[in-house]
Every structure is written in structure tokens, then in C-alpha cells.
Amino acid sequence: MSSGHRLARYVKGGNVEIVDESVPNLPAGGLLVRTEACGLCSGELMAWYLDRKAPHVLGHEVCGIVEASDDPRFPVGSRVFPHHHAPCLACEWCASGRHVHCPQWKATRLDPGGMAESFAVPAGNLNDTHLVSDLRPVDAALAEPLACVHKSLALLPEWGTSAVVGLGALGLMHALVRRGTTGYDTNPARRAWAESQDVRALSPEQAEPADAVVVCPGTRAALEFGLSLLRPGGTLVLFAPLPPSQPVPLDLEALYFRDLRLATSYSCGPDDTARALATLRSGGLKAEQVVSDFVTLDELPRAYHAMRSGEILKAMVVF
């Protein structure tokens, strides 16, 4: 192991520290990557979720340049996007498209994480690692969250009106990919940003019925508002988890007789990644549309708190 390697670590209580650690080794059959850009995911702002992982190196929305390679498909000097989880592509879960339940998917990870000056990509992760030298680093780093959005949108019917609750970066991505989607947010600044991207943005008081709704914030209030928007026969997709300490009562009789469909959308698989990269390559999404603050690693702790408080839309570290 060599020294001189900085990274961002989440510690309990919602704080981020920039620390020095050793550079990871090149894994057998894998890659060593110098980080170019790494986005801060809204899921990394959930203290109840991150505290049980702490101390935890942040970062999975990432791309970089291969510095050492043990796989000829990914030569030194090429730009890559590696998904932080990758399935085996051979088990029953993969065969049925349920990649996020594949044992290998659950076991794989980047070492130590994407929010570091460099990171290792184990051989197992290469099942969902892609050459992206044709993309800007800041765009390629959005492949993972955009893949999650594509998985979510695939659960919605193609007909009827659609809405997204929450106009953070991920909610905004939903509306940018599925054009014609109405976005809702209580934050006037987020609504204004969405409008600047030609997304129709309303406050909850302006609620209109919809046939398909995606709920992005992991809160009971957001879920209940999303359900209130649904027309009979409509579909709601829960895009984020709710804290386990806050169970939500559901009126199952009303759900039944209104013939509503409830679905969840957890992470994404290789098929979703492929759709996301196609969107990025077609120019369907640019980083500047959803990233408000491009920052340095040293600026990340401040940006973390600003994004968590809703002061900024989304931060991305450019190395």
C-alpha cells in the first residue's frame, strides 16, 4: 500500500471529514481508477441510514481514469463509469431481471468508495462498468442516479398524466427524462430551478390528479401527498425508503376499491445503466441541469450540510 490519498468519510451525527489514507491496491482482475468527478447522492444525506454504516466513505456516483488495469477491456488511460454494485449475470435473480437481489450485487463495492482521490474496482464490479471516454466526467458521473431513475420510470404506465413529488436532483431527473411530468415541491427555489429547465413545477396547494406518481422524498408526508394525487387505476412508485421507526398506515380498503398500484424502486441493474448511458450520450441530460454546485473535495463538508438543509440542489466534487 502507498500513502498520500485523501477521501471523504461520513461519521455519525451527519458530519463529513476529509482524511488521508493509503491508496488501495489493484485488485486481481480489476481496476485502479483516478477519480475525476463524484456526485453527492441524496441517499447519503439520510442520517438514519448512514449512521448504521458509519464510519463510511461516501461516493458512488463516480467516474475516473484507469491508472492500472488487470482487464484488457479497460486499458490504462480510459475513462470508466463503474457501478458500485454489480450482479453475477448468471443466477436466477439475474435471469429474472432482479439484479439488486443477486448475492454478488449485494457483496460488491468500490474500495474505499467513490468520494476519494482514487479507488479500486474489483473484478466482480466489471459486470456493470463501462467505457465512457466520449462523455464529460461530470456527465458520466450521473450514470448511476440516472439508471435508478430509468428503473423507476419503467414501472409507470405509458399512458396518462404523470407527476413527481420532490424536485431535488433525482425528482428533477424524473421530470427531465419523462417529459410532460409535473413536479411538486414545497421549496420555491427548487420550483424555480425546475421551471428554468422547462419542467412544470407546482406547490402542493396546486395539486392536480395524476395517473402515475413517483415519490422521491422518504417521508410519510410525501407518500401521503403522492397517494392523494392518484386517479383511480393509477400507479405510485416509492423511490426512496422511509425510516424504519416511522411506519405508515395505509387504508387498504380505499387502495383496493380505487384499484391503485403501489411499487418500490430500489437502486438499479445493468439494463438500467445501459438506458442511462444512452440518455447521456444523446444529450438528454447534462450535469448543469441537476447539479447546482461543483466543488472541491475540501469544500464537500460544507456542501454536504448545505445540500442536506435544502440550501443547494446537488453537489458534485470535481477532482
Which among 246, 264, 282 is the end of a domain? 264
Q: 256 and 194 in one domain?
A: yes
Q: 238 and 274 in one domain?
A: no
Q: Do residues 25 and 1 make contact, with C-beta atoms less than 8 angstroms apart?
A: yes
How distant, in Å, are the alpha carbons of 91, 150, 242 from that of 272?
Answer: 18, 6, 23
CATH number at residue 281: 3.90.180.10
Q: 160 and 253 in one domain?
A: yes
| Dist CA 299 CA 206 (whole Å) | 37
**What local confidence, expressed as pLDDT, does residue 301 receive?**
97
Whole-model pTM: value is 0.95
Which among 264, 291, 306 is the end of a domain? 264
Q: 300 and 253 in one domain?
A: no
Q: Helix, strand, or coil here: 73? A: coil
SS (H, E, C) 140-187: HCCHHHHHHHHHHHCCCCCCCCEEEECCCHHHHHHHHHCCCCEEECCC
Q: 131 and 29 in one domain?
A: yes
Q: 177 and 135 in one domain?
A: no
Q: 186 and 38 in one domain?
A: no
Q: 290 and 212 in one domain?
A: no
How distant, in Å, are the alpha carbons of 168, 179, 266, 268, 296 from that of 43?
Answer: 11, 24, 11, 14, 20
Q: 190 and 282 in one domain?
A: no
CATH number at residue 208: 3.40.50.720
Q: 235 and 162 in one domain?
A: yes
Provide the number of structural domains found in the chain.
2
pLDDT digits (tens, 9 = 90+) for 175-210: 999 999 999 999 999 999 999 999 999 999 999 999
Q: 71 and 207 in one domain?
A: no
pLDDT digits (tens, 9 = 90+) for 101-136: 999 999 999 999 999 999 999 999 999 999 999 999
| Dist CA 71 CA 77 (whole Å) | 13
Residues of the chain with pLDDT > 70, as a percent, come to 99
Q: 284 and 138 in one domain?
A: yes
pLDDT digits (tens, 9 = 90+) for 241-283: 999 888 888 999 999 999 999 999 999 999 999 999 999 999 9
- When the pLDDT of each residue in the chain is averaged and rounded to a whole number, the result is 96
| Dist CA 146 CA 132 (whole Å) | 15
Domain that holds residue 144: 2-148+267-318
31 phi and psi angles, rounded to 5 deg: -135, 155
